[in-house]
C-alpha cells in the first residue's frame, strides 16, 4: 500500500492543471520538498504549520498560499486538515507525476 493510499490522497486534473488533495490527520507531517517553479496551495480545512526555508507560519483554513520556487516546504497539521497542491502540468500519469513536479536532489 502506498502513502497516497494510506492518506486517501485524491488527484484532480483539468486542462493543463493538476491538484493533489491531501487529507492530513492532526499531528501528521507532509515531508519537506521543493519545486523548480512557484505554485499555489490551498488549505481547505483545518490549521497547519507551514515551514519554508525562511519561516514557520501558522495557517488557518480557508487560505491560499503561494509556495515560492526553489524553497523547501513542509506541513504539520495542528488539527485534521485538507491541503491542495495546485500545479501547472500536462502530466496525468500518477506513476510519474511526483517525479515531474518535485525537484530532484541538489
pTM of the predicted protein model: 0.84
Hey, CA dihedral for 62, 63, 64, 67, is it positive or negative? Answer: negative
pLDDT at 1 over 60: no
Q: How many separate helices (H) and strands (E) can be counted in the chain?
A: 2, 9
The secondary element (H helix, E strand) that includes residue 92 is none
The grid coordinates of residue 14 equal 483539468
- Residue 5 is predicted with a pLDDT of 58
Which strands form 10-14's sheet, in the order they lie side by side?
Answer: 10-14, 17-24, 81-88, 39-45, 63-67
Task: Express each pLDDT in 42-101 by its tens digit.
Answer: 999 999 999 988 899 999 999 999 988 888 889 999 999 999 999 998 989 888 877 777
Domains in the chain, start-ordered, CATH in brackets? 3-101 (2.60.120.10)
pLDDT at 106 over 50: no
- Residue 36 is predicted with a pLDDT of 82
In angstroms, the CA 20 to CA 10 distance is 6
- Residue 2 is predicted with a pLDDT of 52
pLDDT at 103 over 80: no
What DSSP character marks residue 104? P
Amino acid at each position: 500500500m502506498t502513502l497516497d493510499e494510506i492518506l486517501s490522497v485524491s488527484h484532480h486534473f483539468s486542462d493543463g492543471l493538476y491538484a493533489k488533495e491531501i487529507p492530513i490527520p492532526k499531528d501528521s507531517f507532509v515531508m519537506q520538498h521543493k519545486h523548480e517553479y512557484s505554485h499555489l496551495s490551498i488549505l481547505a480545512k483545518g490549521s497547519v504549520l507551514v515551514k519554508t526555508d525562511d519561516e514557520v507560519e501558522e495557517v488557518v483554513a480557508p487560505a491560499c498560499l503561494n509556495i515560492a520556487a526553489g524553497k523547501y516546504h513542509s506541513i504539520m497539521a495542528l488539527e485534521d486538515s485538507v491541503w491542495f497542491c495546485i500545479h501547472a502540468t500536462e502530466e496525468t500519469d500518477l506513476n510519474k507525476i511526483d517525479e515531474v513536479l518535485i525537484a530532484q536532489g541538489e
